[in-house]
Amino acid sequence: MISLLNNSLTYQKSGENCDMDRQTFAFFGGIYNNYLALAAAIDDANSRGAEKLFCLGDLGAFGPYPDRVFPLLIENDVQTVQGNYDHSIGNGLNDCQCGYTDPRDNHFAQISYDYTLANSSTSNCEWLKQLPTEIRFEVAGLRFLLCHGSPRKTNEFLWESTTSTHFLNRLTDEYQADVILGTHTGLHWSRELSEDRLFVNVGVLGRPANDGQTNVWYTMIEVIQSPGKSQVKLEFIPVEYDWERLVAEMHSEELPVEFQETIRTGWWTTCLEVLPGKERLRGRY
Amino acid sequence: MIATTSNREVPTVELESLDILWFQVSGTLCNLTCHHCFISCSPTNKTYGYLSLEDVEKQLRLSVDQGVREYYFTGGEPFLNRDLVPMIERSLNYGPVTVLTNGTVLKEAWLERLQSAAETSIYSLEFRVSIDGPTSEINDPIRGAGTFNRALEGIRKLSAYGFLPIVTMTQTWEDSESEEILNQFRKNLMQVGNDRPRLKILPRLKIGAEAERTSGYETYEKITPDMMDGYDTSQLLCSHSRVVTDRGIAVCPILIDSPSAILGETLNEATRSFELTHGACYTCYQYGAICTNPSSKRSQDS
């Protein structure tokens, strides 16, 4: 059973489940070179008892020093899905395949892509190239499917306001999953589906959620198994990190002031054209 | 797949996934007679008629099993259909809605209701407003005298009711002029309260009235089977969309004037593959998902 409470889907205790087995997982999305936020999120997830850490891709973009992300993922055994950015960097393509339509958005996307490609080591590019495009596992009879954009296309945007519930039901049917987790849009959200199934956009660590706050977000899921049933507790976790240091490093790497402003203010300044109306209205620009 | 038509091999596209359901809600009836309209809509073109509220509600119910992701309302001018507002209100219970309008007939009472519906729905209600240049000198010769100012007034009303309209333009100027024209356009939109202009540029579709205005497609502007090698078919609207009309289910909103566009009476009958025989298919191939909002566009596979 799942139920929604503020930013979390919360398990409702019945008082009868004394023989319960709990497993906790942390899911990170869109790192965008923000190694400082990634390090903070890993520490936070470990402190909350996460047994396994996952990353749903797009390690590069806006931020500085792309190579600083990789040791954190590898040393902490973070199982990682390949995002469109990772596919592009790993294969040395000309752009990030982000799907922007506006010339201004493409201009800024190209700056961060060219910077990331030029500053990624050969061995890290090789590591990106071999990443899987999805990860599946089963816990307590629940089939988890981890992808980047959608199960059917790495760079498909699944926004909260432009994705119908019956479409998500179809995806869970077609891809035989009970819980689908993705990222790619940069905004965290979840939807309860039929037959107690669930879709989750885990959010991103790379930049704030266009809400005027400097923190970033990741997702924790606790699977609770008791005799005869499995339950999911979902929580979106805000992460505070040293964003002032990040901005200083972006400045010293001569990355655009527009990117720095987003980190500093929490409002998106670029890549706005792909936002649906409802999500766009929540932001400043 | 490949089919043979008139001694020419043409590729066919399967409906891979019914993601977008269009409603040709006002048929081919429009209050304007634009010289570049690809289906020659006008106040007197009754080739296709209005859909009823019952038609739309029935298809909405059926769309649940199909797992449709988004709903688009088009015409003609959708707001000529007096049931459009309740149609949109009910559709927002099912999924996101986009309305393609010329912006010239909007009434504030309708927008007040739609603002309320949009605020209470979890889904987006988008308006795409067609204007074809930053000035009346560029727009009006194509869309009709006075239409530039009337459409800007529509943008002003939509902005006042809390919407962020997407302004769509068919590119009727040279590429080298684009930056200047679009900057001018943004300034004009901001002056009517649209402080975050969203622009979508459409390629010319050389069919219908546009074929008369300039020229139709050349014979070489067709998709050949070898062009489909390695091509990502999800870029083509016919791979993930169908159109509800009062004459049956059509393959895409661009081709409804073609007899081959009607694929069946019901959605289930209209799932068969489609032969890419048309010049407009060539434009869709070149530009990719030209009818889709930027938020739903799927980038090509590398």
Question: Over the stretch B203-248, which tens digit does the pLDDT of each residue have?
Answer: 777 777 777 777 788 888 889 999 999 999 989 999 999 999 999 9
Query: B13-22, B32-41, B46-55, B249-258: which has the minimum mean pLDDT?
Result: B32-41
Q: How many angstroms separate the CA atoms of B242 and B244, rounded?
A: 7
Nearest chain B residue (CA) to A95: B302
Mean pLDDT of A117-126: 98
Nearest to A277 among B124, B200, B301 (CB): B124
Q: Which of A212, A197, A100 is nearest to A141 (CA)?
A: A197
Q: Reply yes or no on whether the pLDDT at B80 is more than 60.
A: yes
pLDDT category at A19 given cuts 50, 70, 90 is low
**Residues 6+ away with beta carbon under 8 Å from A18:** none
B66, B69, B99, B164: best to mutate for the A interface, most A CBs within 10 A:
B69
**Contact assignment for A274 to B126 by CB distance below 8 Å:** no
Domain boundaries, chain B: 2-296
For residues B179 and B99, the model is more confident at B99
ipTM of this complex prediction, to 2 decimal places: 0.93
Q: What is the pLDDT of residues B164-217, one digit of tens each?
A: 999 998 877 788 888 888 888 899 999 999 999 998 888 777 777 777 777 788
Q: Reply yes or no on whether the pLDDT at B249 is more than 90.
A: yes
Nearest chain B residue (CA) to A154: B301
**Contact assignment for A162 to B96 by CB distance below 8 Å:** yes
Residues of A with CB under 8 A from a CB of B: 84, 87-88, 91, 93, 97-99, 101-102, 152-153, 155-157, 159-167, 169-171, 173, 272-281, 285
Q: Reply yes or no on whether the pLDDT at B44 is more than 50.
A: yes
**Contact assignment for A167 to B297 by CB distance below 8 Å:** no
**Helix, strand, coil % (nearest 5) of chain B?**
35, 20, 45
Give me the pLDDT at residue B37, please. Answer: 86
Nearest to A273 among B123, B162, B198 (CB): B198
Compute the nearest-CA separation of B7 from chain A (Å). Answer: 36
pLDDT category at B271 given cuts 50, 70, 90 is very high
* Ordered domains of chain A (ranges, CATH): 4-145+206-282 (3.60.21.10)
Give me the pLDDT at residue B6, please. Answer: 58
Peptide bond before residue B76 is cis, with ω within 30 degrees of 0: yes
**Contact assignment for B200 to A101 by CB distance below 8 Å:** yes
DSSP-derived pairing of the beta strands A179-182 and A198-201:
parallel
Nearest chain A residue (CA) to B18: A167
Q: What is the pLDDT of residues A156-172, one digit of tens each?
A: 999 999 999 999 999 99
Compute the nearest-CA separation of A16 from chain B (Å). Answer: 35
Compute the nearest-CA separation of A214 from chain B (Å). Answer: 23
Burial of B173 (0-12, 13-18, 19+ CB in 10 A): middle
**% of chain B beyond a pLDDT of 90:** 67
Do A31 and A81 form a contact (C-beta atoms < 8 A)? no
Give me the pLDDT at residue B140, please. Answer: 92
Compute the nearest-CA separation of B212 from chain A (Å). Answer: 30
Give me the pLDDT at residue B205, please. Answer: 78
- Number of A/B CB contacts below 8 angstroms equals 97
Give me the pLDDT at residue B301, please. Answer: 54
pLDDT category at A6 given cuts 50, 70, 90 is very low
Nearest chain A residue (CA) to B298: A156
**Contact assignment for A164 to B296 by CB distance below 8 Å:** no
Q: Which CATH superfamily is domain B2-296 in?
A: Aldolase class I (3.20.20.70)
To 10 degrees, the CA torsion angle through B107, B108, B113, B117? 90
Residue A67 has φ and ψ, to the nearest 5°, of -70, -15
**Contact assignment for B95 to A281 by CB distance below 8 Å:** no
**Contact assignment for A278 to B124 by CB distance below 8 Å:** yes
**Contact assignment for A161 to B96 by CB distance below 8 Å:** yes
Q: What is the pLDDT of residues A188-211, one digit of tens each?
A: 999 999 999 999 999 999 999 999
